[in-house]
Structure 1
Amino acid sequence: MTVEEFRLPDVGEGVAEGELVTWLVAPGDRVEEDQPVAEVETDKALVEVPSSYDGVVEELFVEEGEMVPVGDVIISFRVDEDGDAGEATAESDAGATASEAAAGDDEADTTEPDDEADAIEADATETEPATPSGRTFAPPSARRLARELGVDIAAVDGSGPGGRIGEADVRAHAEGGADAGADGPSVGSASDAPDPKPAPTPTDVGSGGRTSAVKKRDAGGADSETGAADAASAASDAPDPAARETTLATPATRKVARELGVDVDDVPTDDTRDGEAFVTGEDVRAYAEALESEAGAVDAPADAPDPKPVDVSGSADAAAAGGTGPSAAEPSAPGAADETVPYRGVRRTIGKQMERSVYTAPHVTHHDTAEVDALVEARAELKPQAEAEDVKLTYMPFVMKAIVAGLKEFPSLNSELREDDEEIVLKGDYNLGIAVATDAGLMVPVVEDVDEKGLFELADEVNDLAARARERELAPAEMKGGTFSITNFGAIGGEYATPIINYPETAILGLGAIEERPVVRDGEVVAAPTLPLSLSIDHRVIDGAEAAAFANTVMEHLEHPLLLLTL
C-alpha cells in the first residue's frame, strides 16, 4: 500500500492556474480511475478533474475557492502496488480516518459503535441508496444543485438523451424525497427543534461518518432551501413552478432571483423572446411574494399575532426595487456589510479581454436597420420542416449566412491586425463566434466553416453550443479560432448598442430585437418587422465607408433571403 500524490493537470491550453470550485470526494472515499474528484474553474471554462488512480482518498490539500497553479498537489490516494485499493486495508484505514476526524470535530457523533468497521457498514446500509451501475451523466450545474439539496446524483432518473440528468431532474427527485417525509415536523413547528440531518451527498455516502478535510461552502444551505420548498408545497393554492430547462433573463433579473431565493426556471411567465420563456424582475418578485405569503398563511396558527416582516431579499437594493424586504417599521440594520464577489475565473478573463480590446483597437460603431418582412416569412415557411427534423430554427442561421456574404465581398472585416509584424491577415476561414450570456459571464463559442453548412445544420450547432455554454460544458478549444463575432442582445431586449470587438478580431455585429416598427413605404408610414444592426469595427483596419458597405450587403441578403441560396 502506497500513498500517491495527484497534481492539478493542465486542464486547457495556455491555462496556468484554476480555482478549485468544489470537491466531489472526501477523505476515505473510494474512487476509480477517471472518476471526477473535483470541479476546477479556469479563465476559460469549468472542468471536472478525473482521478488517475483506483484507491482511497487520503487527504485533500486545497480548500474550495482556492486558486491553484497547474502542477501543484491537490489530493493524495492510498493505492496498492497494482493501483487498486486493498479491501481490508482500506476499511481499517477508513476506520482510523473516521476516529481521527471524530477526535478533532466538536460536532462529531459520540455514540458511534466501538467497532469502526461495523459502524461504517451500518452507516452505508442506512444511508446509501441503491444506484444504477455505470457512470452518471450530469453537467456540473446539476451535480452542484444535487449537493446543495442533499441528493445522491446517482439515484436521480435522468430525462435527457442517454439518461442525462438535468437540474429539473434533480429538483424533481428532491421534491419527491420531501413529499415522502411529509409525516415529519412541519416547517412552522417548534422554532427550537434541531435541524434535520440532510440526506447524504456523493461525498458523504459510504464514508462511515468521516468528514472532509476541507470546509464545504454554503453549509446548511440545503436545509434552508429544503425548508423553503416544503413551505411552498404545503400551501394549497401556491403558484406551480414552471420547471423549465432554460429561461431567458437579464443579469439584473437573475441577481434579484438569487437574492430572493427563487429559481428563474420556476417563475411563471407568458412572455417569450425568440421562442424562449423570458422572465423579468417583476415576475421574480411577484413569484417570491406569492410563495412567501402562501407559506406564511400555512405556518401561522389561527390565533397567532401577525408575523413581523421578513427580509428574504438579503439586499437593501432589492427592497428598494420593489422586492419583499423590510418594511418602514422594520428598517434594515444600518451599516450592513457589502457583498464581495471574487473577481476571477471567467469574469476576470472577460474583463481583461474587454479592457485589452477597448484600449488597443479604436472602436467605431455603425448603426442601420433592415426591413425583414421576407425573412420573417421565409423562417415561418421553413419552421415546420425544421421541426420535422428536430431542429429549432431561429433567425441566427440566416444572419450568419448573410454575414458570410458580406465577409466574402469585404474581407477586411474577416481579418486580424498583427502589430508586431506590421501586417493585416485576411482570414480564409469563416468561423463565427456567437456570444452567449451565462450565469458565469459572457462566453463566445465558435461555429467553424459557416460557409460550408446549411441553415438547419447551423441552427442545430448553434443551439447545441449555446446550451452547453450555459451548462459550462464547453471545451476551451470550442471558444477559439473565431474570425468574426455576433452578439444577439435583442433576444433579451434592446435595439442598438456599441458592441466591443472580440480582439484580435476586427469586427463584431450586434443584433437588436426583430419587432414591428414604423417604416416609410410609398410615402406612407406603416408597421413592418425590422432588425436593428450595430456593427463595431477596428478603425485601424476598416474604414467607415467599408463598414457601411458591408452592412448594406448583409441587409440585402436579409431583406431578400433567396439570395442566401446562392452562397
Structure 2
Amino acid sequence: MGTHVIKMPDIGEGIAEVELAQWHVKVGDLVVEDQVLADVMTDKAMVDIPSPVHGKVISLGGQPGEVMAVGSILISIEVEGAGNLKASDQLVKEPAAIKEAAPASAAPKVEAAPVLESKPAAACRPAPQAPVARDADERPLASPAVRKHALDLGIQLRLVQGSGPAGRILHEDLDAYLAQGTQNARSGSAPSGYAERHDEEQIPVIGMRRKIAQRMQEATQRAAHFSYVEEIDVTAVEELRAHLNEKHGATRGKLTLLPFLVRALVVALRDFPQINARYDDEAQVITRHGAVHVGVATQSDVGLMVPVVRHAEARSLWDSAAEIARLATAARSGKAARDELSGSTITLTSLGALGGIVSTPVLNLPEVAIVGVNKIVERPMVIKGQVVIRKMMNLSSSFDHRVVDGMDAALFIQAIRGLLEQPASLFVE
C-alpha cells in the first residue's frame, strides 16, 4: 500500500491562495476515481476537486473556511501500489493533516461493507430518529435539493441523522425526523410554542458567503453610492410580451420581462456611454465599453452570483432569454465557468415577485451602475383625466457618484422608462 497526495491545484489567473469551502469526504471514507472530494473557492467561482485515484482517505489538509496556498497538501489517500508521496511532501504537510492522520498501529479495523439485499421501499425507509448532537459549525452532507427541502420545512440539518453513504442526509431522513417530532407532540413531550428558548447557533462566514461579504463591504467603502428610483408603466410591454409568447412561445421559448430590460439597457446606453463603464480607482482610469456585458444577479444555494450575458447589444429577445436561462441554471447548479462570472459592464438585479416597492442595490465593483427591478403591481392611475388600472413597476438603481452625475443617472433611467412604456421604440434603429 502507498499514499497518493493531492495538492491544492493551480486554478489559474495568477491565484496564489484558494479558500477551502467544503469537504465531501472524511477520514476513513473509500473514494473512487473522479469522485468529488472538496469544493474550493476563488474570487470568481466555486471549483470541484475530483479524486484521480481509488483508495481510502487517511488525512485532510485543512478545515472549511481555511485559505490554503496553491501547492499545499489538500488530502492524502491510501492506494494500492507505491502512490506518489515524496519526502518533500512529508515536510510541508499541513497541521490539520498531521492532527487527523492516525498512526498505523492505532488505525481502527475497517470491516467490509455489508451486501445490501433488495427490499421493498417501505422496509428501506429509515426509522424515526432522535435529534443528533453536532457541533454548531459542522456542516452535514446533503444535496442542494435536500437542503432546500429542509429549509422549507424549518429543519436544522445538523439535528438530523443521515442514513446515506458517509452519513449523507436524504429526503427520507427528513421524513423520519418529522415523524419523530409528531410522535413527541402526541406524547406531550414537544415544547410549547410559547416556551422560552435559549438555544444559539454559530454559523462561520466561509466560502461564497465570505466572498459576498467582502465584496459588499468593499463596494460600500470604496464607491460613493447614490440611488435613484423611477416609476414605470409596464402595461404595454407586458401586453407585447404576452402576445409574443402566445405567437412564438411554442417554437422560440417563453419570454420573461428580463430580455426586454436588457434590450432597454442596450438602447439607452447608446446615449449614456459613461454609465456602461468600469472604474479602476487605484489607477484613476475610467474605461467606457462599447460592448454591453450585462451581469444578471442570480440567487443560488451558496449565495448571490452574477453570471454575465456577453454582447447583449448583438442579441435578440429570444437569444437574450435563452442565455439568461442557461447562465442562471449553471450558476444555481454550481457549474458556471469562471469566465461566465466575470467581465460585466453593468448589472441587472431582480427579486421577481418578491421585488418589493423600493430597494437600494449595491454596486458590483468596478462597475459604476446597477439597475434593480421591483415587482409589478396593478394600481389605479389617472391618464388624461380618467382613472384606469395599469401595471406599474419601480426601477431602483444605484450609481457611483465619483463617475456618474446625478442628472445623467436620472436621464438614463428615464430613457429606459420611455423605451419600456413605448416598447416599439426598443426595435427602431
> Which residue is equivalent to 1:159?
none
Runs of 5+ in structure 2 lacking a partner?
85-101, 160-173
Letter in 1 for 2:363: I
Does the 8 Å CA contact 1:7/1:74 hold for their aligned counterparts?
Answer: yes
Taking structure 1 as reference, are residues 498 and 470 closer, same or farther at Cα in structure 2, changes over 3 Å only? Answer: same
Q: Does 1:362 align with 2:362?
A: no
Q: What SS does the aligned partner of 2:398 have?
A: strand
Q: Indicate which of 102, 124, 130 corresponds to 1:181.
A: 124
Matches within 5 A, 1:516-535: 516-535=378-397
Q: State how far apart, in whole Å, the 2-side matches of 1:50 and 1:347 are.
A: 23
The SS at the match of 2:188 is: coil
- Displacement of 1:390 in angstroms is 6.2
Structure 1 partner of 2:74: 74
Deviations 1:430-478 (A, max 9, x none): 0000111223221111110001111111111111211222222222221
Higher strand share: 2
Q: 1:414 to 1:246 in 2, by over 3 A?
A: farther
Instruction: Tell me by how many angstroms 1:374 deviates.
Output: 1.3
| 2:416 aligned counterpart, secondary structure | helix
Q: Does the C-alpha gap of structure 1 residues 345 and 187 become closer, same or farther in structure 2, counting only changes over 3 Å?
A: closer
- What letter matches 1:500 in structure 2? V
Equivalences, count: 390
Describe the SS at the equivalent of 1:433: strand
Query: Is the contact made by 1:7 and 1:71 (CA closer than 8 Å) also made in structure 2?
Result: yes
Q: Which letter maps to 1:375? A: V
1:308 lines up with 2:196 in the alignment: no
Tell whether the 8 Å contact from 2:276 to 2:292 is kept in structure 1 after alignment: yes
**Deviation digits for residues 110-163 of structure 1 (CA, Å, limit 9, x no counterpart):** xx6xxxxxxx4xx36x0499xxxxxxxxxxxxxxxxxxxxxxxxxxxxxxxxxx
| 2:4–2:83 CA contact under 8 A, matched in 1 | no
Q: 1:50-129 alignment to 2 at 5 Å? A: 50-51=50-51, 53-57=52-56, 59-62=58-61, 64-65=63-64, 67=66, 68-77=68-77, 78=79, 80=81, 104-105=107-108, 120=112, 123=113, 126-127=115-116
For residues 542 and 217 of structure 1, do their structure 2 counterparts lie closer, same or farther at Cα, with a shift above 3 Å needed?
A: closer
Which residue identity is paired with 2:289?
Answer: K
Task: Give the aligned residue type for 1:516.
Answer: E
1:317-466 pair list within 5 angstroms = 326-328=192-194, 330-332=195-197, 334=198, 336=199, 338-389=200-251, 391-466=253-328
Q: Distance in 2 between matches of 1:505 and 1:37?
A: 35
- Determine the C-alpha separation between the residues in 2 that align with 1:370 and 1:58: 58
- Is residue 22 of structure 2 the alignment partner of residue 21 of structure 1? yes
Question: Unpaired runs of 5+ in structure 1?
Answer: 84-98, 113-119, 130-175, 196-215, 226-243, 263-287, 312-325
CA contact (8 A) 1:43 1:348 kept: no
Deviations along 1:27-63, one digit per CA (max 9) or x if unpaired, are: 573633x443323344443321123x44434632335
Native 8 Å contact 2:295 2:344 kept in 1: yes
**Distance of 2:327 and 2:120 partners within structure 1:** 33
**Against the structure 1 CA distance between its residues 20 and 423, is the aligned structure 2 distance closer, same or farther, given a 3 Å change threshold?**
closer
- 2:277–2:287 CA contact under 8 A, matched in 1: yes
3-state SS of 1:19 partner:
strand
Is residue 369–residue 531 contact of structure 1 (8 Å, CA) maintained in 2?
yes
Deviation at 1:310, TM superposition (A): 2.2
Alpha-carbon distance in structure 2 between the residues aligned to 1:104 and 1:261: 27
Q: Secondary structure at the match of 2:370?
A: strand
**For residues 490 and 343 of structure 1, what CA distance do their matches in structure 2 show?**
27
Query: How far apart are the structure 1 equivalents of 2:21 and 2:238?
Result: 46
Once the two structures are TM-superposed, the CA of residue 371 in structure 1 deviates from its matched residue by 0.9
Q: 8 Å contact 1:508–1:536 — kept in the other structure? A: yes
1:257 equivalenced with 2:163 (yes/no): no
Higher relative contact order (CA 8 A, sep 6+): 2
Q: Deviations 1:256-277 (Å, cap 9, x if unpaired)? A: 8344999xxxxxxxxxxxxxxx
Identity of aligned residues (%): 31
- 1:296 is displaced (CA, Å) by 6.8
> Alpha-carbon deviations, 1:53-88, whole Å to 9, x = none?
4443463233552523322112234364799xxxxx
Asked if 1 retains the 8 angstrom alpha-carbon contact of 2:3 and 2:83, the reply is: no
Q: Which moved more, 1:485-494 or 1:407-416?
A: 485-494
Q: Does 1:541 align with 2:403?
A: yes
Q: For 2:203 and 2:29, how far apart are their aligned partners in 1?
A: 32
Contact 1:44-1:346 within 8 A present in 2 as well: no
Shift of 1:424: 2.1
With the length of structure 1 as denominator, give the TM-score of the two structures: 0.60
Distance (whole Å) between structure 1 residues aligned to residue 267 and residue 285 of structure 2: 24
